[in-house]
């Protein structure tokens, strides 16, 4: 039977190993993206055909947050036509991506004044060949 101290030490060991593996996994994922998808759009999906029907799929995401510390988003919402504001902001406000992507350039510039966009971590998926 293990003691609490032994269990704790093993837990710490596994936690450190897991952190190192996560760091290595991210580095390898980013290396694959850089090597095989160098011109990928910052948002969307791309596919690389591999041998024997396998595919490597890349999914790129953009993280967006709405600034409202001083009521900036509320002020922007009041400047947009109500039917446009409803499609872009939820009550919190949070960004409604479908409406945001359809904005006219002048409305998008206004909304962008309170939205912070940062690239998400790319996701990769290995897709098995389809069976005939």
pLDDT digits (tens, 9 = 90+) for 7-35: 999 999 999 999 999 999 999 999 999 99
Please say whether the beta carbons of 28 and 48 come within 8 A: no
Peptide bond into 49 cis (omega under 30): no
**Cβ–Cβ < 8 Å for 28, 34:** no
Q: And the tokens for 45?
A: 């999906």
Domain range enclosing 103: 37-127
Look at the chain and report how many structural domains it folds into.
1
In a domain, 66, yes or no: yes
In a domain, 89, yes or no: yes
Q: Residue 91: what pLDDT? A: 65
> What global pTM score does this model have?
0.60
pLDDT digit string (tens) for the chain, length 132 residues: 889 999 999 999 999 999 999 999 999 999 999 999 999 999 999 999 999 999 999 999 999 887 766 678 788 888 999 899 889 887 666 888 999 999 999 999 999 998 999 999 888 888 888 886
Q: With respect to residue 3, please indicate whether it lies within any of the assigned structural domains.
A: no
Q: Is residue 25 part of a domain?
A: no
Q: What is the dihedral of CA 79, 85, 115, 102, to 10 degrees?
A: -120
Cβ–Cβ < 8 Å for 56, 47? yes
pLDDT at position 131 is: 82
Nearest residue to 95 (alpha-carbon basis) of 81, 113, 121, 79: 113
């Amino acid at each position: 039977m293990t003691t609490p101290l032994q269990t704790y030490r093993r837990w710490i060991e596994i936690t450190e190993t897991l952190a190192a593996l996560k760091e290595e996994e991210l580095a390898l994922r980013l290396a694959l993206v850089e090597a095989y998808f160098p011109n990928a759009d910052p948002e969307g999906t791309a596919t690389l055909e591999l041998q024997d029907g396998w595919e490597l799929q890349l999914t790129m995401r953009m993280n967006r947050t709405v600034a409202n510390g001083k009521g900036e988003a509320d002020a922007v919402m009041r400047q947009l036509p109500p039917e446009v504001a409803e499609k872009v902001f939820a009550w919190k406000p949070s960004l409604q991506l479908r409406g945001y992507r359809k904005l006219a350039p002048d409305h998008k510039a206004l909304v962008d004044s309170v939205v912070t966009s940062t690239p998400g971590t790319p996701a990769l998926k290995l897709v098995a060949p389809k069976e005939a």
